[in-house]
Amino acid sequence: MRSDAILPPRVGALQPGPCNAITDVAGVTVGHTTIADGPIQTGVTVIRPHGGDVYRDRVPAAATVLNGFGKSIGLMQVDELGVLEAPIALTNTFCVGAIAQAQIRQCVAANPQCGRRLPTVNPLVFECNDGYLNDIQAMLVSEEHYLAALAAAGPGFAQGAVGAGRGMSSFGVKGGIGSASRIAPIANGAEYRVGALVLSNFGRPAQLTLAGHAIGPMLAERLAAAGEPEKGSIILILATDAPLDARQLRRLSLRAGAGLARTGSVFGHGSGDIALAFSTAYTVPQDSSRPMPQIAMLHDALVDPLFQAVADSAEQAIIHALWHAETVEGRDGHSRRALLDVMADRISQFSEQAP
């Protein structure tokens, strides 16, 4: 039986931020639109790097493709230019195009010369396949849902079976949206925050390792799971207030794979595993007549605590996605049970207890 008195275990030695979420990085906000209507179990999640217009004031960013079984839009230009110029959107595989179009329309509405006197905008949309629970062929996530999630973005947000995570599955149980943060003390006396948000939709039951505890075999037995190949995907979004350039952010994004591996993932053949990192320490103007920022970047020799913070916050975010997700029933009678509904008695042995 599920017990809400069971708190998730905390991984790693670094301290979390006040909310233990990506929004502990100042200026970052998150919003969801969730569609839960019988066979339609899906949605969209939007991450805003700052409260202004990201098209006009871009943020440095870089991505790592751990396994490229994915249908994202916008990664090529991020790799080339090293900046974000749109909010980050997460949704299901068949709705990537609709959300990219929504991002373009929203940018044009705010910047009427976009694509005319001004450059075009690079939409950025990531996806996972929620087709087990959601009737993905219906393709019902629309511009209206994107705009609602964008408008709802704030420092406080729900986790679990919400937004883009509504129909997602992980390790044979319910997956979804999870988030966490860590504070990284640097040798030069500075202190920076790293936050992670994941769209968790990956892993076979027998693989699950939770805070170092190999509970996967017992989970597989309880689910009577077949030994099928790993399917699904995970998107890992990382934010930091550390002053880093795109080259350094690419190095940060790669370390998300360390946190992902700790949970039992092997970056399976059919899994689209993509990590993107961005910094809020400065913005890059789209208008070439505006001055470029003059900022001292963090020395490469000092970045190890940030690597640790990325690995810990990514692992913790995956745990939070599993922890907060509720049981969901979707199309054709398919359902995914919440991890705590299946494994509460086992998990309580190594989890923190609520007062």
Q: Which residues are catalytic?
A: 233, 271, 273
- Provide the residue type at 224 as one letter: A
Q: How far is CA 258 from CA 165, 202, 211, 315, in A?
A: 22, 15, 13, 8
Q: Give the DSSP per-residue string, 303-348.
A: -HHHHHHHHHHHHHHHHHHHHHPPPEE-GGG-EE--HHHHHHHHHT
3-state secondary structure 136-201: HHHCCCCHHHHHHHHHHCECCCCCECCHHHCCCEECCEECEEEEEEEEEECCCCCEEEEEEEEEEE
Are 83 and 59 spatial neighbours (Cβ–Cβ below 8 Å)?
yes
Task: Tell which residue, 311, 338, 281, has the closest CA to residue 11.
Answer: 311
Using CB atoms within 10 Å of the CB of residue 51, give its burial: 0 to 12 exposed, 13 to 18 middle, 19+ buried: exposed
> Two tokens at 139?
């393709």
Task: Tell which residue, 22, 61, 64, has the closest CA to residue 254.
Answer: 64
Q: How far is CA 267 from CA 65, 202, 258, in A?
A: 10, 9, 11
Are 165 and 128 spatial neighbours (Cβ–Cβ below 8 Å)?
no
CB count within 10 Å of CB 249 equals 25
User: Dihedral sign, CA of 167, 168, 169, 175?
Assistant: negative
How far apart CA 209 and CA 171 sit, in angstroms, is: 10
